[in-house]
Structure 1
Amino acid sequence: MIERMCGRINMGLDPADLVGELDIEHSSYVHRERYNVPPGGTLPILVERADANGVVSRRLESARWGLVPGWAKDLKLGYRAFNARSETARTKPMFRSAFTRQRAVVPVHAYYEWVPGPAGKEPWMMHSAAHDHLFMAGLFEFKRLSDAELAEVGDDPAAASGWLVSATILTAEAQGHLSDVHERMPVMLPVGSVGEWTDPSLDGEGAEAALQRLLASFDPGSVSRHRVGTAVGNVRNEGPELALPLQ
């Protein structure tokens, strides 16, 4: 089952501000301030990769939101794989290779979710209680693009090298006050645990153990939320006003 929630991201903060704090050695991500990023949009991912000499470094890269495995015949597959259930990602064909080998952390300012209300669906924005980044556990993949696919992606920054880098965000059962908004939530971790999830030395079993530790230690109080206006429901709407608390 491909999970469907956390379908809109706020990228109001520039993750380049994290370079020093997180010891990021290489950064190819170019920030574009956006407040309403849908699946298929560009997100930053933190990864730990080895170079040709086997030296591992932490990198900040651009990724298309929606996982596209290397074997995929159609790039549009990613629009159905922007989230993955943490309970089954290790075993599902779509995600199991990335779960074992290619884990990422997605630093975002906030995400939006919708709650049924008397007048229709009410959007809420979930953000860090400390007003900095939320760090979401994710998976990433590479796909070598054919000439036709290169033409299809155009100037997508996640495909600048001729390979499409794509990512999905893991979800879990919502905890604390976040369950009032949706039964699921992104798997979120404190900044000090970023390396625990991205550690390339972990195999599938080790990654599963790390995931369980991260879920068990999650503090719902580290996330705040407020209602926002319905304009965020239209992906064509942009701007910082989308994040303002509804009066």
Structure 2
Amino acid sequence: MCASYGLDPRFSDQQLIEEADDELMEGIRAWARRNADEAVRPTGRLLRNLNPILLPSDPAPLLEEAWWGFLIDGRPSRFPSINTRSERLQERPGGLRGRAIVPATRWFEMQKPSKTWHEFGLDGALFGMAAVTQRGRAEDGSWFTCYSIVMQPAPERLTGIHDRMPVLIPAGFANDWLTGEPTRELMDEALLASSDATRWVQAATMTSAP
């Protein structure tokens, strides 16, 4: 599972989505600066960290700060909701009705049983992780867009560290992911589009937890 990730404001101007403009990219960079490049962790009752995601909008995608994990009846869900398996969405594509792209420059996983932390990324480049979304209400009555990062089986060369990794959405497929019909075919196409970036994923052992 992806339990935390990072967003370094020093990323290059590499596109996250072909339809992105300078204002959107600066919004992502400004959020990263405000948060001092700290690891992003799931939002909880006592942890109101709202994180940038890209949502479908006309004529250009919308940048919104959203809640990582689903809210049910005013509280964080009791079932695991920060990640969603791609296989589940293939079997039940109704879960694809709301979608987003999560900007990141790396993500973190713990290797078991050694409990060693590893950092994964694309040599510091900005990339987008596929996510599904739904609206949720917090205890104080505030409504948020909530998101869950879509996870796929990791390639064989990474399975010794962790058996899952995020579905990486390249810029050329980003608009398709955000606006396509919620079908199994869309999830299949996203996995295919992710395969090229997946080949370039690098892993590094960390000296301490993120």
TM-score range for the pair, normalised by the shorter chain length: 0.7 to 0.9
Describe how 1:33-72 pairs up with structure 2 within 5 A.
33-40=36-43, 41-49=49-57, 55-68=58-71, 72=72
Instruction: List gaps (5 residues or longer) in structure 2.
Output: 44-48
How far apart are 1:61 and its partner, in Å?
1.2
How far apart are 1:83 and its partner, in Å?
0.2
Q: Distance in 2 between matches of 1:229 and 1:20?
A: 30
AA aligned opposite 2:148? T
Instruction: List gaps (5 residues or longer) in structure 1.
Output: 50-54, 151-161, 233-247
User: Residue deviations 1:108-159, cap 9 Å, x none?
Assistant: 1111111136xx3111100113x2113111111123x47x533xxxxxxxxx
Conserved 8 A contact 1:126-1:223 = yes
Conserved 8 A contact 1:178-1:220 = no
Q: TM-score, normalised by structure 2?
A: 0.78
Indicate how the Cα distance of structure 1 residues 205 and 231 shifts in structure 2: closer, same or farther if over 3 A, else same: closer
AA aligned opposite 2:208? T
Indicate how the Cα distance of structure 1 residues 137 and 105 shifts in structure 2: closer, same or farther if over 3 A, else same: same
Q: Distance in 2 between matches of 1:224 and 1:89?
A: 26
Identity %: 21
1:135 to 121, 128, 135: 128
Match of 1:166 in 2: 146
Q: Distance in 2 between matches of 1:185 and 1:74?
A: 29
Segment of structure 1 superposing worse, 174-183 or 9-18: 9-18
Pair 1:8 & 2:4 matched: yes
Q: Distance in 2 between matches of 1:166 and 1:202?
A: 20
The CA RMSD over aligned residues, in Å, is 2.9
Match of 1:113 in 2: 109
Segment of structure 1 superposing worse, 163-172 or 21-30: 21-30
Q: TM-score, normalised by structure 1?
A: 0.68
* Greater radius of gyration (CA): 1
Conserved 8 A contact 1:67-1:167 = yes
Match of 2:46 in 1: none
User: Residue deviations 1:212-245, cap 9 Å, x none?
Assistant: 4225x3343321121112242xxxxxxxxxxxxx
Q: Distance in 1 between matches of 2:99 and 2:11?
A: 18
Indicate how the Cα distance of structure 1 residues 78 and 66 shifts in structure 2: closer, same or farther if over 3 A, else same: farther
Count of residue pairs the alignment pairs up? 198
Describe how 1:227-238 pairs up with structure 2 within 5 A.
227-232=205-210
Q: Distance in 2 between matches of 1:89 and 1:20?
A: 23
Q: Distance in 2 between matches of 1:78 and 1:16?
A: 38
How far apart are 1:14 and its partner, in Å?
6.9
Conserved 8 A contact 1:178-1:185 = no
Match of 1:238 in 2: none
